[in-house]
Structure formats: C-alpha cells, structure tokens
Chain A
C-alpha cells in the first residue's frame, strides 16, 4: 500500500515531460527529477546529446542525463517522491542511469565525483538510492511486497 501511495504521489511529477519538441510518434520520456535552486555554473548533458548545455531553473531531468556543477556552484535535484539532493560544487552526477556496473541495480542517482547532501522529509513514504563508483547507498523505506 505504501508503495502504491508513493507511486500515486509520484504520478503527477512522473507525467511531466520536457518542453515539447517536433511531433514524434515515440512516447515522451518520463521526467526522473527536477533541477532547482541553481547557483553558479550548472550544466546538463542529455542522454542522447554530445554537448553540455546550461541548466535552467525547473528543468526536467530524464533517465541517463548528466549534471555537472562548476566551482562554487550548486543545484538541488528533486525527485518525484519528494526526496531531494543538493549537489555541491565541482560535482558530476547521473540521473537514473541504465547500463551501470554489472550486478548493480539501477539507482535514482549516480554520484561520480563531488558531494551531495540528501534529504528525505518523510522516510516512511520516500526512498532514495544513490550509486557511486564504490558503493550503493539506500535510504528510506525498502520497497518490499506491499
């Protein structure tokens, strides 16, 4: 039940999509997170893109997007279930990356470099998994057979 409530709560945010582009028959990718409270130089590289572009307030982050912060820069990544991380300066993170290390589950966030400060306001209904090159960090409720 808790899982269903979490998913229902996440539903609206999950349905958000990036700014509409040209008409395309393929379904729009789901927003995995939103970028907020930008400070300093924050860049985003879309999964399908080769170039970095400047991040913007409220930008939707999709699966396999990468976010980079410069010196004295920071940004908040907010997930649909309400959990969030503040990405510190000179950090490099990935969003819900697929094709990670063999034997590792997909995580909500991958921190490749730098520091993130994570917050779960209501850990009973929220969970967050963060991958790093050395470990996987899980916080909040376990999703078990609810």
Chain B
C-alpha cells in the first residue's frame, strides 16, 4: 500500500519538467507544443507566475506534472457522466461544479479541479452501484474493439484522445489511431464498426474437387472468422451457379453448385441490416468423381 500512497503523494507535489521557449514562440505556442493545446497557456502562466502572455526566447518554463493528467481524467469522467445524466437539480449542480473544475484547471489548481470534478461525477452518476461489464477484443494486428454491456461508461484512450463508451456501445481503435466514434445500440454508425470478415476456408484460388450432387457437385463449404458485433453474415457466390444466403454462423454450406470458377464474398450484417465491408476470394470447383475404366484382360 505504501508505494501507491507515496506515488500519489509524489504525483501531487512532484516538480514538473521544464521546457525552453524557442525563438518566436508565444506562450500559446509553448502550450500547444508541450501540453497539446494552446488553451493551456493560462496554466503555464499560472505555474510560472507570469504577469503577461509574452515570454522571451530562451526562458525556461516549468511544465505541470502528473497531477494535471489526473485532473484532466477526472474532468473527462465528470463530463461524460453529466452529459448522460437526466435533467434535474443534480445535473444543474454538477454542471456548475464541472465549470468550476475547468476554471481551476485553467489556473493550474489541479488538485482542486480534480476534487470539484469528482464531486460533479458523484452527483450525477446514478448507476454507480450497477456492476460494470465490458469486453475487449484484440485482433492479430492489434486492432482493439471495446464493447460495454452494462454499468458506468468505460474510458478508451489512444493517441492522446479519450472516448467514453456507454453501455450498449462499441468502439474500435486501430493501432496508431485515436478511438473511433462509439456505435450505439441503434445508431447509424453501427455499420462503421463492422469489419470485413477474415476468410478462412477454402484457401485462395483453391481447386476444389467435390462429389457429384444432382446436376452439379457439393456440398461447397465456406468459413471465415467471426466478426465482433455482427448479427449475421451475407454470403454471395458469383459464378456458374450464383447464390446468396444469410447465416448467423461464421460458416456457410451450398448443397450443390455447378462446376467452374467462382468468387465468393462475405459481409457482416450489423444492427438494422447495416452491412460491413466485403471480403472476397476465388476458387475453382470441379467434380471429384474419378472415372475408372477397366479394360478386359487379354488373357482368359
């Protein structure tokens, strides 16, 4: 326990890093360069006890430490909670506290800002006692999908940006990118979250020999990796005997197809029939029925 408490204590008083003002830089430029926003110039001004916004090149400026991140996190949480709260006295009071927290932040009073934001959060968080359930799925390329089932919103951070993901929402984050817009349970952005299925079998350009079945051959079995958030799949077979089917599983079977060259594609189906991007592959289908011709022997 001691190291954690010590870490928090250090975070609250730790002297910050420093930066050197470059030629022709304004305080807003320094704030943008070091803190990611020109609006944080007021914080630099407060921390460094500057009288004006002008600062000479070569001046060494103190930068805020971890306490700023914690205050920003608390404000982000409170904003999310206030945004989702129903109208009422609690929300009005929380909004006022939140505004106060932002004012304190701008004057670099980080601890007080965090405390005010915390108070705002407590006022409007009505589902605090509900258990929180969420799922995180990481694909082989690192792409991350976060789906919140229930409870309070989950915060997803990437590339300096934070998204609050509420129950019923899903957010997708690709490596090196900021989190996408969360898709709601019935929102129009649902289709943007669906990915193209990864096709598994048959392998690309495979020459498939199937048993004779009716006028054609079969069954032709296709499979792919399940897509998170998909309600089903639309499978299309283009070729001598084109067919389309819908399935809820990550596999499909066509009982009989004519022999020839095909392209097959799969798209994930989202909420309200929204379609995800397509994945497509080629294959050749032939009859696997081998004719055996046995010549009568010459001898008797």
Contacts and interface: CB of A to CB of B under 8 A. Distances in A.
B72 to A, nearest CB: 10
B286 to A, nearest CB: 32
A128 to B, nearest CB: 9
Given A118-B136, A120-B132, A145-B111, A135 B158 contact: yes
B51 interface: no
A144 interface: yes
Interface in B50-80: 67, 70-71, 73-74, 77
B77 A142 contact: yes
Interface string B124-162: 000011111111111110111010000110111110000
A8 interface: yes
Nearest to B157: A136
Given A122-B129, A139-B155, A144 B138 contact: no
If over half of B's interface residues share one DSSP class (helix, strand or loop), that class is named, otherwise mixed; here it is mixed
Interface string A89-126: 00000000000000000000001111111111111100
Given A7-B5, A139-B155, A130 B136 contact: yes
A133 B138 contact: yes
B1 A120 contact: no
B144 A134 contact: yes
Contacts of A146: 118
If over half of A's interface residues share one DSSP class (helix, strand or loop), that class is named, otherwise mixed; here it is mixed
Given A118-B136, A132-B138, A134-B142, A144 B131 contact: no
B173 interface: yes
Contacts of A117: 133-135
A139 B127 CA distance: 13
Contacts of A58: none
A137 B136 contact: yes
Interface in A1-31: 3, 7-8, 10-11, 14
Given A115-B137, A137-B136, 5 more contacts: A7-B1, A132-B136, A140-B132, A144-B71, A144-B73
Closest 10 CB pairs of A and B: A133-B142, A135-B158, A120-B132, A135-B173, A144-B114, A132-B144, A134-B144, A134-B173, A115-B137, A123-B132
13 contacts: A111-B136, A111-B138, A118-B135, A119-B132, A133-B142, A133-B144, A134-B143, A135-B157, A138-B155, A140-B152, A142-B70, A145-B8, A146-B118
